[in-house]
Amino acid sequence: MGQQHKRHYKGFFQALGPGILFAGAAIGGSHIVQSTKAGAIYGFALLWVVILANLMKYPFFRFMRQYTASTGETIIQGYHRQGRWALWLFLIISTISAVLNIAAVTVVTGFLASNLLPCGLSLLWWCVIIGGVCVVLLAVGHYPALDLAVKVIVTILAVSTIIAFLAAVCHSPALTTSRPCPPIWNAGGIVFLLALMGWMPAPIDVGAWPTLWALERKRQTGHLATMRETMVDFHTGYIGAAVLAVAFLGLGAIVMFDSGQTPAASGAKFITQFINLYTDTLGQWSRYFIAAAAFTCMFSTTLTCFDGYTRTVHDAFCLAVGRKNAIREDVLYWVVMGVFFASAIAIILGIILLEALVLVPLITTAMLTAFLTAPIVAWLTWRVIRGRNVPSKDKPRRAMRLLARAGIIFLTGFAILFIYSQLAEKLGWPMGKIG
């Protein structure tokens, strides 16, 4: 019996990894930028949005991991089974997301570094250095380096965030306020809502990454995770990311909502503003905890984005053009990463040259794109998990099927609401403001 328990624990630890990497990817822009900003602008009024977004996307992130544990294939191979049209559609969505999201998270990380570690380097050089560090880590250490680095980073992030949150709660005399919230149900409010939900906890296409990392984890440890072990790993990352999202929203609400300051429009400048206000409120000692939470949050997201998007586009492209046996070490992997790195730097250079025009909407554009494409990826994933190659015992049960259908309706409904609200504002249609 003792040996059996040891084998169980060993199996769980060997399977643990892709879920933590997912958390590392999820807790960047959606948490430190948008969750904190939601708390700063609306107090706790949007807590329901954070919880609902995590709930409505949950089935699709779960199905992706479930599919890999059941069939031994990545979800990308599952899309391929639906037809080349499905694979190409996912590839296009992932490529667009990669270009926007890598640029967005890199510029926020670079901006944080330039403000937290002032040493005369420009924002562009900080972005080049951060991107370069990510590429070198992946080139030298491959998956094991990514796995170890993100586990360390997420541990630091979780500890520093909880300390920062508890310190804010203890310092706050009350968590209630009479300050009115800005309107939510108008064109501008709906944009903020969808931006918040777009990366909450992550874009749905990001769910493909853990299915790729799971196979890398198998190569690293020699252990094929069981369905139970896979679900433990998945829930560790997913629930952890959801809890941290609530913590960051709480930080924004407690520290900034009643401060009288107007949150900066730019996500990067907002983070710096928030760190300074947090330090002024609690004292200089607290700066290290909140700064560590902010920077590690964004760096972990940047690192996982470089690897995750590159793997996804590489594998999807190889399948789409018929190179089924292409491996990660293929030259194409580094070509794809190089293109994404160069694209990110080009966009960031444009941001620096045209700051007043493009700095503010970059992250919002990336988040809105993630939300507007979410119903498509959710629907494709729903088709895959019900495929003939998935054993009946591993297909979703009735409750999960109902939640998945509700999720698709929810994502599609809000996407339609966003499109209508934008047209209503521009064309003077009714319902330009709701409520």
Render pLDDT for 348-361 as a digit per residue (tens, 0 to 9): 888 777 764 445 57
Beta bridge partner(s), residue 186: 433
Residue 326 domain flag: yes
CB 319 within 8 A of CB 144: no
* Mean per-residue pLDDT, 405-427: 86
Residue 379 domain flag: no
Q: Mean pLDDT score of the chain, rounded to an integer? A: 83
The predicted model scores a pTM of 0.88
Decide if pLDDT at 435 tops 90.
no
The pLDDT score that the predictor gives to residue 343 is 94
The pLDDT score that the predictor gives to residue 6 is 54
The pLDDT score that the predictor gives to residue 96 is 93
* Mean per-residue pLDDT, 420-432: 69
CB 17 within 8 A of CB 217: yes
- pLDDT tier at 14, thresholds 50, 70, 90: low
- State whether the Cα torsion 397-409-308-31 is positive or negative: negative
The CATH number of the domain holding residue 251 is: 1.20.1740.10
50 lies in which domain range?
13-371+389-427
The pLDDT score that the predictor gives to residue 126 is 93
Residue 417 domain flag: yes
CA distance 47 to 317: 39
The pLDDT score that the predictor gives to residue 222 is 77
CA distance 235 to 218: 19
b or e along 113-129 (b: 16 or more beta carbons within 10 Å of the residue's beta carbon)?
Answer: bbbbeeeeeebbebbbe
pLDDT tens for 135-173 read 998 888 777 877 788 888 788 777 877 887 888 778 766
Residue 7 domain flag: no
pLDDT tens for 230-280 read 899 999 999 989 998 998 898 888 888 877 677 777 666 777 777 777 777
CA distance 31 to 50: 10
The pLDDT score that the predictor gives to residue 103 is 92
pLDDT tens for 66-117 read 999 999 999 999 999 999 999 999 999 999 999 999 998 898 888 888 877 7
Phi, psi values for residue 433, rounded to 5°: -130, 135
CB 123 within 8 A of CB 352: yes
Q: Lowest-pLDDT range, 137-146, 174-183, 192-201, 226-235?
A: 174-183
- pLDDT tier at 177, thresholds 50, 70, 90: low
- pLDDT tier at 119, thresholds 50, 70, 90: confident
- pLDDT tier at 8, thresholds 50, 70, 90: low
Q: Which residue has the higher pLDDT, 4 or 144?
A: 144
C-alpha pair distances (Å), 348 with each of 15, 103, 112, 267, 304 = 37, 7, 14, 14, 19
What percentage of the chain has pLDDT greater than the value 90? 35
The pLDDT score that the predictor gives to residue 219 is 81
Number of domains in the chain: 1
pLDDT tens for 297-344 read 788 889 899 999 999 999 999 898 876 554 555 688 899 999 999 999
Residue 299: closest CA among 75, 116, 60: 116
The pLDDT score that the predictor gives to residue 171 is 74
User: Residues 366, 29, 415, CA angle at the centre, nearest 5°?
Assistant: 45
Cα-only R_g, the chain: 21
